Amino acid sequence: MKTINEITPWGTRSASYWMTLLIAAGIIFVGLRFIINPAAGADGYGIPFANAKDFPFGRIKGIRDIFSGLVLLPFLLMRMRFATACVFTAAIIIPATDCAIVLATNGAGDIQHLLIHGLTALYMAITSFLLFRNKQA
């Protein structure tokens, strides 16, 4: 097992780099929205709050979303493809579980939110495949 960070040609010229950065930036935006306007964040998620007393839970989710996006940035900036791939792949559990929660709460009729979460999980799975794929020069 290698214990050093080897600089590789992977980086801004790779589609997987930008695909990962898009998700990182997107989830940071979602987290900020939950902190700034928890009601809008909850509506966007697919499970609106019952009242303003639920807002702290939105802010709790918001800071966790921001962390989820920020945790990828150092790996991207240091061009650590394998570390990025491992963390990013583990994170697929989040939109997959979000999809299951929306399905369990709203039922199969909430196609819009099921697609948002489900397609995010699919996008992340494709990105993970690309991150792990070892391109030979």
Quote the tokens at residue 102: 């929306």
Report pLDDT digits (tens) over 28-65.
Answer: 999 999 999 999 999 999 999 999 999 999 999 999 99
Does residue 99 form part of some domain?
yes
Widest distance between CA atoms in the chain: 56
| Tokens describing residue 48 | 């609106």
Nearest Cα residue to 31 out of 20, 10, 11, 45: 45
Q: Assess if residue 10 is contained within a domain.
A: no
pLDDT, position 9? 77
When divided into structural domains, the chain yields a total of 1
Instruction: Identify the pLDDT of residue 137.
Output: 43
Q: Does residue 6 sit within a domain?
A: no
* Domain range enclosing 22: 15-132
Q: Is residue 39 part of a domain?
A: yes
Q: Which amino acid is at 73?
A: L
Pick out the chain residues at pLDDT < 70: 1-8, 134-137
